[in-house]
């Protein structure tokens, strides 16, 4: 799509490829088969398959399994690894790079633009990690392809970090629209600052695709940097195991996110 100049259609194409749209289409096909009276048995099987798929696509257990078996995200930074990075930061130039995850063009309760819950989680962990490592922090994110025009996400993050957390972001990158652009623009900026180690902060389900984008950007532009994953959001659910197989809003969101990342990895996004 990028080659054809159709990047703006990516959010729509992704939404159509993810549950529930394909499964609802199958339900319609099954209903047509049953109504016609022909191939009624096949229609009944297809309907049962579609309904089962809709149920499972709303289950956190399915999301957990897909994330573990398909995405295989790296583990969270251990206490020992953080201590090692803190020691290395004394002799190397390290930065904690926080990837944007969305923004609200206007949050009525604040009467100004704000970060989405996902971005706030990343910002919180990124600032905490930067404090642990005594390293500067950077935020990358402009206006996403699926977002309406408005302030850049990184500018919003800079305001929140300084005003609400009392910590200033050393750098902000405000032009990128997706993960690939996050990587290219951020590394181009950091290489001029002599940075040697980039610690990438994003959610665990997003990390495999983000890590690939950063490694490819570094290799393509000959940036001599070490890319270190720092995934967050790995906490397991608190519900009883049986509830993981009951449809929930959270389960549906997790399945969609995991499948979206899998499609991104498959098609090189």
Q: Delimit the domains of the chain by residue range.
A: 10-71+245-267, 79-231
Mean pLDDT in the chain?
A: 92
User: Is the CB of residue 78 less than 8 Å from the CB of residue 72?
Assistant: no
List the one residue out of 242, 248, 235 whose CA is nearest residue 56: 248
**Predicted pLDDT of residue 123:** 98
**H or E segment to which residue 237 belongs:** none
Over residues 249-262, the pLDDT tens digits come to 999 999 999 999 99
Architecture of domain 79-231 in this structure: 3-Layer(aba) Sandwich (3.40)
**CA pair distance 41, 222, nearest whole angstrom:** 59
User: What percentage of the chain exceeds 70 in pLDDT?
Assistant: 96
State both tokens at 12.
């729509």
Over residues 35-89, the pLDDT tens digits come to 887 777 899 999 999 999 999 999 999 999 999 999 999 999 999 999 999 998 8
Q: Read off the pLDDT band of 90 (50, 70, 90).
A: confident
Q: For the ranges 16-25, 95-104, 240-249, which has the lowest average pLDDT?
A: 240-249
């Amino acid at each position: 799509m990028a080659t054809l100049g159709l990047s703006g259609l990516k959010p729509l194409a992704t939404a159509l490829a993810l549950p529930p749209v394909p499964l609802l289409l199958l339900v319609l096909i099954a209903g047509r088969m049953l109504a016609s009276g022909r191939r009624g048995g096949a229609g009944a099987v297809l309907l049962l398959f579609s309904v089962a798929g809709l149920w499972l696509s709303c289950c956190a257990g399915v999301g957990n399994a897909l994330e573990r078996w398909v995405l295989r995200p790296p583990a969270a930074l251990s206490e020992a690894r953080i201590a090692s990075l803190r020691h290395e930061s004394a002799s190397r130039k390290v930065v904690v790079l926080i990837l944007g995850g969305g923004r609200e063009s206007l949050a009525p309760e604040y009467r100004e633009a704000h970060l989405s819950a996902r971005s706030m989680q990343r910002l919180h962990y990124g600032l905490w990690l930067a404090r642990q490592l005594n390293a500067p922090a950077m935020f990358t994110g402009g206006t996403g392809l699926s977002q309406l025009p408005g302030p850049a996400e990184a500018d919003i993050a800079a305001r929140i970090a300084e005003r609400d957390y009392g910590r200033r972001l050393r750098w902000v990158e405000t032009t990128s629209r997706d993960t690939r652009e996050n990587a290219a623009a951020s590394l181009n900026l950091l290489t001029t600052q002599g940075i040697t180690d980039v610690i990438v902060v994003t959610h665990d389900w997003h990390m495999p695709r983000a890590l690939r984008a950063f490694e490819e950007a570094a290799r393509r532009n000959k940036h001599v940097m070490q890319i270190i994953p720092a995934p967050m959001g790995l906490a397991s659910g608190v519900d009883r195991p049986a509830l993981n197989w009951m449809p929930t809003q959270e389960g549906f969101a997790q399945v969609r996110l995991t499948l979206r990342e899998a499609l991104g990895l498959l098609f090189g996004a």
